[in-house]
Amino acid sequence: MTPLPGAAVEAIRAAGRRMDARGWVPATAGNISLRLADGRVAITRSGFHKGFIPEDGVMAVDLDGRPEDAALRPSAETGLHCGVFRRFPEVRAVLHGHSVPATTLSRLAGDGLTLAGYELLKAFPGLPTHEAAVRLPVLDNDQDIARLQARVEHAWGAGAAAIPGYLIRGHGVYVWGADMPGALLRLEALEFMLACELELRRLRP
């Protein structure tokens, strides 16, 4: 087995610390991955707090989610990360968090959640101004990850490139980017807008 690049492991650990500092990965929630130059995927192992990922808390899988080392257990949702990488060849990083706004709003939404008029929409591709809107698919949670990924593919449809992420009901959010800084930027922008949406709902009479 080829060792994981140290820089990739540290990028994942640093992302975990940043997400933890913002309250997006409580307990052992969330997962983080990077597509490596050799085509493998480096992803967080199951059971670790993402704010305190040890050096051996990251492992390698192939694009179908099969572990390189059968003795190690990746995140239960590895198939969702690999689904993003298979669909978008340009994507190198995928983030999954469980913030209060994402979890709460996903429980209140139907099959989608629209964000419109926010300055931070410019963090997403193809949206040069705040005068825009994006619709995030909201999917029912499912312990059958292959079945859930099939529903993700259906929700993406032909316009997948315009969708910056998706929500799993009562669970959390998935976002991705061309590299780890890009994915973190999108997650931070999205979490800000979700927090605003939650506050607006609280303030409306």
Q: Is residue 59 within 8 Å of residue 74, measured between CB atoms?
A: yes
Q: Is the pTM value of this prediction over 0.85?
A: yes
Per-residue pLDDT of 113-125, as tens digits, reads: 999 999 999 888 7
The CA distances from residue 182 to 20, 107, 164, in Å, are 18, 27, 11
pLDDT on residue 88: 93
Q: Is 81 annotated as a binding residue?
A: no
pLDDT(107) > 70: yes
Per-residue pLDDT of 53-78, as tens digits, reads: 998 999 999 999 999 999 999 988 99
Mean pLDDT for the chain overall: 93
Per-residue pLDDT of 83-104, as tens digits, reads: 999 999 999 999 999 999 999 9
Give me the mean pLDDT over the 16-27 stretch: 97
Q: Is 98 annotated as a binding residue?
A: yes
Question: What is the rounded CA–CA span in Å between residue 18 and residue 38?
Answer: 26
Per-residue pLDDT of 131-144, as tens digits, reads: 788 899 999 999 99
Per-residue pLDDT of 171-190, as tens digits, reads: 999 999 999 999 999 999 99
Closest CA to 83 of 149, 161, 37: 149
pLDDT(40) > 70: yes
* Structural domain 6-203, CATH architecture: 3-Layer(aba) Sandwich (3.40)
Question: What is the rounded CA–CA span in Å between residue 95 and residue 98?
Answer: 10
Confidence grade of residue 205 (pLDDT, cut at 50, 70, 90): low
